[in-house]
Structure 1
Amino acid sequence: MGSESDYRGEGVILGVDGGTTSTVCVCMPLLPFSGHRQLPEPLPILGRAVAGCSNYNSVGENAARETLEQVMAEALLKAGMSHSAVRAVCLGVSGVNHPTDQEMILNWIRDIFPGNVKIRVENDAVAALASGTMGKLHGCVLIAGTGCISYGFREDGREARAAGAGPVLGDWGSGYGIAAQGLTAVVRAHDGRGPKTMLTNCVLKSLNLSSPDEIIGWTYADSSWARIAALVPVVVSCAEAGDQIAIDILNNAVQELAMSVKAVVQRLQLAGEDGNGSFPVVVVGGVLEANKRWDIGKEVINSILKTYPGASPIRPKVEPAIGAALFAWNSLAKEATENGH
Structure 2
Amino acid sequence: MKGHPNGEIEGFVGETLSAGVILGLDGGTTSTVCICIPATASIPFTGTKAAESIEILSRASAGCSNFNSVGAMASGTLGKLHGCVLIAGTGSIAYGFCEDGRRARAAGAGPILGDWGSGYGIAAQALTAVIRAHDGRGPQTILTNNILNLLGLSSPDEIIGWTYADSSWARIAALVPVVVASAEAGDEAANKILHYSVQELADSVKAVIQRLKLSGEDGNSSFPLVMVGGVLEANNKKWDIGKEVLKHISKDYPGVFSIHPEVEPAVGAALIALNQYTISLRADQTS
| TM-score relative to the length of structure 1 | 0.72
- The structure whose residues are more often helix, as a share, is 1
Match of 2:136 in 1: 192
Residue 143 of structure 2 corresponds to residue 224 of structure 1: no
The 3 A distance-change label for structure 1 pair 202 and 277 is same
Counterpart code for 2:113: L
The percentage of aligned residue pairs carrying the same residue is 65
Compute the displacement of 1:159 (Å): 0.4
Counterpart code for 1:234: V
Match of 1:14 in 2: 23
What is the alpha-carbon distance in structure 2 between the residues aligned to residue 291 and residue 24 of structure 1? 28
Match of 1:237 in 2: 181
Compute the displacement of 1:328 (Å): 1.4
Compute the displacement of 1:292 (Å): 1.7
Compute the displacement of 1:16 (Å): 2.3
Residue 50 of structure 2 corresponds to residue 29 of structure 1: no
Residue 225 of structure 2 corresponds to residue 256 of structure 1: no
What is the alpha-carbon distance in structure 2 between the residues aligned to residue 86 and residue 285 of structure 1? 34
Compute the displacement of 1:320 (Å): 1.4
Residue 176 of structure 2 corresponds to residue 207 of structure 1: no
Contact 2:180 2:234 in 1 (8 A): no
What is the alpha-carbon distance in structure 1 between the residues aligned to residue 21 and residue 259 of structure 2? 28
Compute the displacement of 1:26 (Å): 2.9
Compute the displacement of 1:321 (Å): 1.5
1:1-341 matched pairs, under 5 angstroms = 10-19=19-28, 22-31=29-38, 82=51, 84-87=53-56, 88-95=58-65, 124-289=68-233, 291-293=235-237, 294-340=239-285
Compute the displacement of 1:90 (Å): 2.1
| Residue correspondences, number | 261
SS in structure 1 opposite 2:33? strand
What is the RMSD of the two structures over their aligned residues, measured on CA atoms? 2.2
What is the alpha-carbon distance in structure 1 between the residues aligned to residue 130 and residue 81 of structure 2? 42
| TM-score relative to the length of structure 2 | 0.85
Compute the displacement of 1:24 (Å): 4.3
What is the alpha-carbon distance in structure 2 between the residues aligned to residue 279 and residue 81 of structure 1? 43
The 3 A distance-change label for structure 1 pair 218 and 81 is farther
SS in structure 1 opposite 2:26? strand
Compute the displacement of 1:81 (Å): 5.5
Counterpart code for 1:91: S
Compute the displacement of 1:29 (Å): 2.2
SS in structure 2 opposite 1:23? coil
The higher-RCO structure (CA 8 Å, 6+ apart) is 2
Compute the displacement of 1:275 (Å): 0.4
What is the alpha-carbon distance in structure 2 between the residues aligned to residue 146 and residue 218 of structure 1? 18
Deviations along 1:108-137, one digit per CA (max 9) or x if unpaired, are xxxxxxxxxxxxxxx611111000001110
